[in-house]
Amino acid sequence: MSIAVELRAVARLDFAEVLRSRWIWFCVAAYLVLGGVLLTVGVRESQIMGFTGTSRMLLSFAHALILLLPLLALMALAPAVQRARDDGSLELLFSQPLSPAAWFLAVCGVRYLALVVPLALVMAALAAWGQLVHGDPIPWAFLGRSLAVSAALLLAFTGIGAAISVFVRSPARVITYLVLTWALSVALLDFALIGLMLRWRLDAHAVFVLAVANPVEAARLALLSSLQPELAAFGPVGFYLANRIGSGALFALGVAWPALLGLCAWGVAYLGFRRSDRI
């Protein structure tokens, strides 16, 4: 059996499992609820950093997604391998002429696309709603940048989630590592950096490197860099970033680094899956 046939077979099987499971509907509901809240609370009527109307709404939506997407990606991938081991799916599938590489690649690919495609549809629907109902032009450039940043951030945490799923066998520990990973990357990020600056008075360059090493912070910088090329709205920090690095480089860094991190984590997970006891 060729690798393409194996990929299609496993992808169809896992896609059916995704549709039957609860997490994919939770993700779609989270996108819709978040977008609906922003539509109903009058966000589009306010103005920030020169953005108003549909652009203002998409900006708020993208900022909220930066915090939400890592958790959704970890929920999608972290339990995948461990659950398949426990319910006997791996033992059944690998008794067929199916390679581990095809199964692992198809499962990761299907779950990644199950996160990205609904997000793209919801963002496009929000932009289309603004044009049809309020006559706002669709901000194609900002929409494309937001989707690129979101897709890179999802790739980073689906790779990390795949690594957790391969190397952690206990369901309770999987949930623990999932929550800790999300908390360290999102919930405690700003507090940790402020604490480091106050405690050890780190150089600004060191703090910037530590911040960018986190894919969530890198994605934030990429998103903010699309607001104003000179980043004047951010005061001295924006002036420093715009002149030392540049808005284009910040965007490239915020997309490339999370994507690279996700691919590396996925590669480690794949090698671990190939070499470990898969049953």
- 49 pLDDT above the threshold of 60: no
Would you state the structure tokens that stand for residue 57, as one six-digit string? 């709404």
3-state percent breakdown (helix, strand, coil) of the chain, nearest 5: 85, 0, 15
Residue 48 CB partners (closer than 8 Å, separation 6+): 56, 59
Mean pLDDT, all residues of the chain:
80
Confidence of residue 228 (pLDDT cuts 50, 70, 90): low
Contact 67, 158 (CB under 8 A): no
**Most trustworthy range by pLDDT among 8-22, 36-50, 90-104, 115-129:** 115-129
pLDDT reported for residue 194: 60
**What is the pLDDT at residue 255?**
92
pLDDT of 273 over the 70 cut: yes
Given pLDDT bands bounded at 50, 70 and 90, which one contains residue 279?
Answer: low
Digit-coded pLDDT (tens) for 2-33: 778 888 888 888 888 888 877 788 888 888 88
Taking 60 as the threshold, does the pLDDT of residue 221 lie above it? yes
133 — pLDDT class (breaks 50, 70, 90): confident
- Is 159 in contact with 263 (CB distance < 8 Å)? yes
Task: Give the count of beta carbons closer than 10 Å to the beta carbon of residue 92.
Answer: 12
The predicted-structure confidence for 167-208, as pLDDT tens digits, reads as follows 988 888 888 999 999 988 886 665 666 666 666 766 666 667
**Residue 40 CB burial class (10 angstroms; 0-12, 13-18, ≥19):** exposed
pLDDT at 52 over 60: no
Compute the average pLDDT of residues 56-75.
Answer: 85
The whole-angstrom distance between residue 144's C-alpha and the CA centroid of its chain comes to 15
Using pLDDT thresholds of 50, 70 and 90, give the confidence band for residue 218.
confident
pTM: 0.87
For CA atoms 48, 51, 54, 59, give the dihedral sign: negative
50, pLDDT greater than 80: no
Return the percentage of the chain with pLDDT > 90, whole number. 22
In angstroms, the CA 258 to CA 215 distance is: 5
* Three-state SS sequence of 227-256: CCCCCHHHHHHHHHHHHHCCHHHHHHHHHH
CA distance 226 to 37: 24
List of residues 6+ apart from 198 with CB closer than 8 A: none
Higher pLDDT, 246 or 269: 269
Q: Which residues make beta-bridge pairs with 51?
A: 48
Q: What percent of the chain has pLDDT over 70?
A: 78
Residue 136, pLDDT above cutoff 80? no
